[in-house]
Amino acid sequence: MSVFSRPRCSLELLPVGCFGRVLKIMGEGINARRLMDLGLIPGTIVESIRRSPSGDPTAYGIRGAVIALRAEESHLVLVEIESQ
């Protein structure tokens, strides 16, 4: 790991109020395709906006839209935490 590497985590672990850059969709098939159709492609900046009181789903800001994803979907997205 390089000294200049940023922390990485799955999208479901991105703290509320933080930004992440999509690195990879881990998975295949219809679930991965749906995430890409929602705008989660490598290089996209995502903001974790809020979690529901029960903790699932979480609202994310992606390319000017707000979408809600359940943990079972968001754990398929690997992000690099950004310092925005």
pLDDT at 30: 92
CB-based contacts of 58, cutoff 8 Å, min separation 6: 12, 16, 48, 49, 50, 51, 52, 68, 69, 71, 74
Domain segments of the chain: what residues?
8-82
**Residue with token string 């979480």:** 58
Tell me if the pTM is above 0.85.
yes
CATH of the domain spanning 8-82: 2.30.30.90
- 22-31 burial, b at 16+ Cβ within 10 Å, e below that, comes to beebeeeeee
pLDDT, mean over the chain? 91
pLDDT per position as a tens digit, 63-74: 999 999 999 999
Which tens digits make up the pLDDT trace of 4-14?
678 999 999 99
Answer yes or no: is pLDDT of 1 > 60. Answer: no
Give the pLDDT confidence of 10-35 residue by residue, as tens digits: 999 999 999 999 999 998 889 999 99
Q: What separation in angstroms does the CA of 67 have from each of 4, 7, 15, 50, 58?
A: 31, 24, 16, 11, 8
